[in-house]
């Protein structure tokens, strides 16, 4: 197991431990860089195909996080440093990952105004940008 995968495993273990307190501070907890699983490459290709936009899969850094600091309930996030972060309870959710992939192919489009969201049938409600 790689160090990154091991770190993710620790996050996933934490997820299975019942919380001892109800007022835990919500920050970007347990953020770890991960090696993208093979299925991410499959989903990446799907979004390239439906959008007609080629991208650079290897140029993205992927992270999993236990919870985002803003507490908004978002599931994923893309930024201009080409980092994609997904919440660890949905890190293998096709809709969430494909959404962030399209942000990368579009190099943004925070407000989801481009036609590719519809063309690809990608839910625009999973994040805040
Ligand atoms: Zn979005």
Check whether 26 has a pLDDT greater than 50: no
Confidence class for position 8, pLDDT limits 50, 70, 90: low
CA 77 vs CA 25, 39, 73, 90: distances in Å: 20, 18, 11, 12
Q: 48 CA to middle of ligand 1, Å?
A: 16
Q: Which residues touch 34 (CB under 8 Å, ≥6 apart)?
A: 4, 5, 7, 8, 62, 63, 64, 91
Q: What average pLDDT is seen over the chain?
A: 82
Amino acid 7: pLDDT: 56
Q: 80 CA to middle of ligand 1, Å?
A: 13
Which residues have CB atoms below 5 A from the ion given as ligand 1? Answer: 127
Q: How far apart are CA 102 and CA 75, in angstroms?
A: 15
Complete DSSP assignment for 1-70: --HHHHHHHHHHHHHHSPPS-S----SSBT-EEEPPPHHHHHHHHHHHHHHT----GGG-EEEEESB-TT
This prediction has a pTM of 0.76
Decide which of 63 and 19 is more confident: 63
Q: How far apart are CA 75 and CA 64, in angstroms?
A: 10
Q: 67 CA to middle of ligand 1, Å?
A: 17
Q: 77 CA to middle of ligand 1, Å?
A: 7
For residue 86, what are the β-bridge partners?
Answer: 64, 76
Q: 20 CA to middle of ligand 1, Å?
A: 33
- Tens of pLDDT, residue by residue over 42-77, are 999 999 999 999 999 999 999 999 888 776 778 999
Check whether 12 has a pLDDT greater than 90: no
Complete DSSP assignment for 67-86: B-TT-S---EEEETTTEEEE
Q: 95 CA to middle of ligand 1, Å?
A: 11
């Amino acid at each position: 197991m790689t160090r990154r995968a091991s770190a993710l495993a620790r996050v996933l273990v934490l997820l299975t431990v019942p919380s001892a307190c109800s007022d835990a501070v919500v920050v970007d907890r347990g953020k770890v860089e991960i090696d993208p699983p093979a299925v991410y490459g499959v989903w990446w290709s799907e979004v390239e195909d439906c959008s007609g936009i080629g991208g650079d899969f290897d140029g993205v850094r992927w992270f999993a996080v236990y919870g985002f600091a803003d507490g908004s309930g978002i599931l994923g996030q893309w930024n201009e440093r080409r980092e994609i972060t997904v919440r660890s309870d949905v890190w293998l959710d096709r809709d969430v990952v494909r959404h962030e992939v399209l942000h990368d192919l579009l190099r943004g489009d925070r407000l989801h105004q481009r036609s590719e969201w519809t063309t690809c049938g990608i839910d625009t409600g999973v994040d805040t940008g």
